[in-house]
A and B are shown apart, each in its own frame.
Chain A
Amino acid sequence: MARMKRGRGMAASWYGIARTATIDRAGAWAELDDGGTGKVVTGVTEIGEGILTVLAQVAADEMGIKPQDVTIGDNDTARSPEAAHAGATRQTYMIGNSVALASREARNVLFEQIADHWDVEIEQLRAFDGEIWAEETNLRMSMEDAVATCKARGVVPVGSASFTAHGTGLDPVDGSGSPWQAYVFGTQVAEVEVDTWTGEVQVLGIWAAHDVGRAINPRGVEGQIEGGVVQGLGQALMEEYITDKGHAITHGFAKYILPTSLDIPQINCVIVEDPDPKSPLKAKGIGEPALVPTAPAIMNAIYDAIGVRMKTLPATPEKILKALRDHVPGREQIAQSARQERAGAARH
């Protein structure tokens, strides 16, 4: 028998965006500030997912300025409006939309003044990348001048917004309800190599296709998918917090084994954009859903390689070798007889 065996498996998944089976909400404040810069205030901050960059992009796009000219005031219950928690794949969806709406409002305040100043219709105004202009005219100025003009007319261009996601609770008896207004779907394929001498599994490739709604920052989306895949891989193959009568055996990182740079498959991301019809940004999310299909895809690939089905995680080298040792090809016989029956059924 060849020592190294390869195989492939796949798994699909779905997930809901923002808080579950409840109304979710988030608030934000925005201001078009001196120098044509922007100011956004929100109650959460970065946990690593890239939300500050997403918010800067969203605010910049709405206000017609550059992302690097957006200042974000964040993270303080005494200084910012409620944005609630940083989790539940809700940051881009909840805070992003809230910031979009607040920024839009601030921009509209500015647009009203500039439209009046230039004597054009507000619908003619466009702003992007630090400049404002009126379509079908030669009127154009910097956002810095536009803000100064607006303020000289006695108006500070500010906005605020609250964004709501309408989930409903579940019926206590049959669980019926509409827990989310936005769903995402994903599919991953895994390619593995199993060392039948040691039981080690190396994941060599992952193809991860995820619907994220509109991707605000594709590179950031990839980062979330790659991170999710590797957490899924860790759970699939090595990670396990073990206790004995409540006492941790895995009391440090020498015992609690995490994936390192040598365990990482080539991750091929495919971003699918199915826009969300219920929110101004049309984005959905990716933080959590990215890791859902990874472990089953890897287990399905291990089965393809060596014919043993790992039903309890993690599939450690020791468990793999034991499974190979204990393997009776009984399941295959069941499958075979089922196939024959099916073939019979198809004939009749």
Chain B
Amino acid sequence: MLTCDNYHLPTNLPEALAIWSNAKTGSRLVSGATDILPWAREGRAGDVHLPELIDVTRIAELNGYSFENGRVRLGANTVYQDFLTDQTLMRSLPCMPFCAIWFADDQIREQASVTGNLVNASPVADGTPAVVALNGEIELTRLHDGSVVSRQVPVVDFIEGPGKTQIAGDEIATAVILDTANGYGGSFQKVGQRRSLVISVACSAALVKADRDGRVFEDVRLALGGVGPRPIRMSEAESVLRGERISHALIERAAQTAADTVGSRSRKEYRREVVVNFVRAALEDALANQPEVQVDFADAKEKTHA
């Protein structure tokens, strides 16, 4: 069980940063708390006593989202359920609803924040590949000589390994900044042992934009999760596809490159096989999910039975 001496609920960022920088060693930041409470149980960390818990969910500056220069800044209090209820976010970030529907369940999505998910840096976090596909950056904020300063780090670099990130001891993750991808088709693939409330063995996110005739890949974004200690952006496969005539054969060829990305030692054979299939499925689903575009596969006829 988790116990603590103090539980703070700061309401503005300077207050939160001050409490955080003065907190006793071993104190923790809390967002949704959906990870820290299960962590402090038998079989994992066991009984844990922490001096202070600083809850960021009432910090006003962390609420909401804003658009700027083709990017959206999601305040750190953005939770997964927002991607299933907020029409603007659903349209702008087309892979996020599919990622969210696979993430935990309705209840946990109401509490769990995207930012918290990234900071915990689990290799099997569902949010990571989707954010990486959207060229996500994380905003880290701290107090410097009494003033609030922020920096932005690409998520693909930010996560260094299981539970390891580039966040500094006095920083709070205050936002995630993503490309908007209106008009793209998005998809998310995940496999575990069931379909709800399940930790993935592997997952992948895709964003695809075809030309107006549905014949050419104008843009492709692909990322994998669960296959190694760090998130993986499949740049090579993306460049194989970008600008090319859309066909199943090409998708299959691009997908083959996924196998070599698998670094996990456990279940390696399975993961190698699954990610190849995932990339295929992710691309085909993303193409199908594109609004207002009818995709025209070059090799459609041979494949209709598939």
Contacts and interface: CB of A to CB of B under 8 A. Distances in A.
Contact of B270 (A2, A257, A263, A321): A321
A203 to B, nearest CB: 12
Q: Which DSSP category, helix, strand, loop or mixed, fits chain B's interface?
A: loop
B194 A238 contact: yes
Contacts of B44: 251-252
Contacts of A80: none
Contacts of B199: 254
A262 B273 contact: no
A318 interface: yes
Contact of A318 (B194, B267, B280): B267
A190 B193 CA distance: 19
Interface residues of A, number: 25
Nearest to A319: B270
Interface in B170-208: 191-199, 201
Given A252-B43, A316-B193, A322-B269, A198 B198 contact: no
Contacts of B198: 257
A107 to B, nearest CB: 50
Given A2-B306, A197-B280, A197-B281, A263 B274 contact: no
B49 interface: no
Nearest to A257: B193
Interface in A243-286: 248, 251-252, 254, 257-263
Q: Select the residue from B41, B193, B196 with max chain A CB neighbours within 10 A.
A: B193
A3 interface: yes
B302 interface: no
A252 B38 contact: yes
Q: Which DSSP category, helix, strand, loop or mixed, fits chain A's interface?
A: loop
Contacts of A258: 194
Interface residues of B, number: 26
A223 interface: no
B305 interface: yes
A263 B194 CA distance: 7
A259 B270 contact: no
B306 A3 contact: yes
A325 B270 CA distance: 10
A199 B278 CA distance: 12
A73 B274 CA distance: 57
A251 B43 CA distance: 6
Given A252-B38, A318-B267, A322-B270, A260 B281 contact: no
A318 B38 contact: no
Interface in B140-198: 191-198
Contacts of A321: 270, 273-274
A238 B195 contact: no
Given A318-B267, A321-B274, A260 B195 contact: yes
B42 interface: yes
B191 A200 contact: yes
Contacts of A238: 193-194
A197 B194 contact: no
Interface string A151-195: 000000000000000000000000000000000000000000000
Given A2-B305, A248-B43, A251-B42, A259 B269 contact: no
Contact of A254 (B38, B42, B201, B280): B38
A261 B196 contact: yes
Contacts of B270: 199, 317-318, 321-322
B120 interface: no
Contacts of B192: 257
Given A251-B43, A254-B38, A321-B270, A198 B196 contact: no
B277 interface: yes
Given A321-B273, A325-B273, A262 B195 contact: yes
A259 B198 CA distance: 11
A262 B196 contact: yes
The 4 A-B pairs with the shortest beta carbon distances in the complex, nearest first, are A251-B43, A197-B277, A262-B195, A238-B193
Interface of B: 38, 41-44, 191-199, 201, 267, 269-270, 273-274, 277-278, 280-281, 305-306
11 contacts: A2-B306, A197-B277, A197-B278, A197-B280, A237-B193, A251-B44, A260-B197, A317-B191, A317-B274, A321-B274, A325-B269
